[in-house]
Amino acid sequence: MYFKPEIPYTHGSFQYENAVRYGYAAFERREYPGRREFTADEYVAFSGTHCDHIVLPEPYRSKLFDGLRDAVLAAGNKIVFQDTYVLYLAKKPEDIQV
């Protein structure tokens, strides 16, 4: 079954790399590997924080979450994500007040 929000959620176009255009120096992007493991109920709770899931009207939201829960339960009540956490760093110039 497929669910689609009536109003599409669009992500912003913020570009971290633009920091250097505003005077910041030593811009750096670092990546760190990570792992998250969820039970069915934990994954449903986590999925409920996603903007595109929040805007789903009922009864579709509940049906989606029920389907997610059933899928994770059928897979042994565990879903694992291998993540990459990205950290952006830049040095603030002396003349910028925050």
Q: What is the mean pLDDT of residues 17-38?
A: 94
Element holding 79 (H helix, E strand): strand 79-91
Does residue 46 belong to any structural domain of this protein? yes
- Is residue 4 pLDDT above 70, yes or no? no
Does residue 13 belong to any structural domain of this protein? no
Does residue 33 belong to any structural domain of this protein? yes
Does residue 27 belong to any structural domain of this protein? yes
End-to-end distance of the chain based on CA atoms, in angstroms?
48
Whole-number Å distance between alpha carbons of 13 and 24: 19
Q: How confident is the model at residue 63 (pLDDT cuts 50, 70, 90)?
A: very high
- How many folded domains does the chain comprise? 1
Per the structure, the complete domain to which residue 84 belongs is given by 19-91
- Is residue 20 pLDDT above 80, yes or no? yes
Does residue 98 belong to any structural domain of this protein? no
**Please, are residues 27 and 89 in contact by the beta-carbon 8 Å criterion?**
yes
Is the entire prediction scored with pTM above 0.75?
Answer: no
pLDDT in tens, 74-84: 999 999 999 99
**Please, are residues 91 and 44 in contact by the beta-carbon 8 Å criterion?**
no
Whole-number Å distance between alpha carbons of 79 and 67: 14
